[in-house]
Amino acid sequence: MITWTETRSVSGLLEMDRFILQCLDKLVVIADNTWAMSKKKNPKIKFIIILTAATIFYFAGSIVLDLMHLPAIDNLAKKNPARTALMEQRVKEARARKKPYRISQSYLPYNAISPYLKKAVLVAEDAAFFSHQGIDYGELKEAIKTDWKKKRWARGGSTITMQLAKNLYLSTSKSLTRKISEAVLARRMDDQLSKARIFELYLNYIEWGDGIFGCQSASLIYFDCSASELDPELAIRLASIIVNPRKYGPFTDSKRMNTRRKWIAQKMLQYGHLTEEEYSDLNF
């Protein structure tokens, strides 16, 4: 039997992660064994086995097709995208509802962004960002366990790099194939871009409200100041809403948001990102 790994040069998946290829190989082996088993069963069981094998092949084929059409990211090192896939998605959604949609996005260089915002975002979204290679396998494993247990997409497990890949090139749809594409793109980004560049793009392009993209536009709209001027409290308020920026605002007074702000502040204090005085001055 020819495995997916052996067809890498044909399929053009030269940059696919080894663990993805191994998973595909296992799926094909399972399907092959399932087909062999079907010959020894009665008609009803045989039908179920064949249907299972067909589903496995369809799933594996969908993954391969998605990965073959992933975009190249070579130009991200020096060129800032004009639009992102998420921006285009929001425009289409608004057009479908026949409502106007205005995109607000301004770029701010990495060194100009408030250090408090950088630390708050890291604590809130991906504390291990500077130590992993685009994918936090431990967090991803826990996310899969949680999702399987609850039978829904309850926990994301996406790193900052994976979130950036989704925003720039994919969509907000929740599916296993999209998650795999997100992971592969994240690995490519981590191989080709510096951590500072990835974080800079993330802070400048993620969604921070309805039509609001990037920390500079978010700071100007919410606080009437530049993202370079954010103090600890404003930085934490902004970082706290990344989890659902179209539902929550930096001043949303809800149990979830208040708890999240306090948690981020406590973690920043714990990691030495805030002094005791700065922590005690927070108004939440």
d(CA 16, CA 194): 20
Q: Are residues 166 and 233 in the same domain?
A: yes
How many CB atoms within 10 Å of residue 118?
21
Asked if residue 87 belongs to a domain, the reply is no
Q: Are residues 54 and 115 in the same domain?
A: no
Tokens 């979130």 sit on residue:
163
Q: Are residues 204 and 115 in the same domain?
A: yes
Asked if residue 2 belongs to a domain, the reply is no
H helix intervals, 193-224 = 195-205, 215-223
Judged by phi (left if over 0) then psi (alpha if -120 to 50, else beta), residue 120 lies in: alpha
Q: What's the maximum distance between 2 C-alpha atoms anywhere in the chain?
A: 74
Where are the strands (E) in the chain, listed by range? 104-105, 207-209, 212-213
Q: Are residues 239 and 167 in the same domain?
A: yes
Q: Are residues 43 and 161 in the same domain?
A: no
Rounded to two decimals, the pTM is 0.77
Where residue 13 falls among pLDDT bands split at 50, 70, 90? very low
Q: Are 141 and 281 in contact (CB under 8 A)?
A: no
Asked if residue 73 belongs to a domain, the reply is no
CA 224 to chain centre: 28
Q: Which CATH number do you get for residue 203?
A: 1.10.3810.10
Q: What share of residues in the chain are helix, strand, coil (percent, to 5)? A: 65, 0, 35
Q: Are residues 55 and 118 in the same domain?
A: no
Q: Are residues 57 and 147 in the same domain?
A: no
Q: Are residues 136 and 197 in the same domain?
A: yes
Q: How many domains does the chain have?
A: 2
Residue 256: domain span: 102-280
Q: Are residues 41 and 138 in the same domain?
A: no
Q: Are residues 41 and 154 in the same domain?
A: no
Last residue of some domain: 68, 90, 114? Answer: 68
Q: Are residues 61 and 151 in the same domain?
A: no
Asked if residue 94 belongs to a domain, the reply is no
Tokens 């700071």 sit on residue:
219
The model's pLDDT over 122-173, given as tens digits with 9 standing for 90+, comes to: 999 999 999 999 988 777 677 566 655 665 555 567 899 999 999 999 888 7
The residue type found at 273 is H
Q: Are residues 164 and 256 in the same domain?
A: yes
The model's pLDDT over 240-283, given as tens digits with 9 standing for 90+, comes to: 999 999 999 999 999 999 999 999 999 999 999 999 999 999 99
In this prediction, residue 72 carries a pLDDT of 76
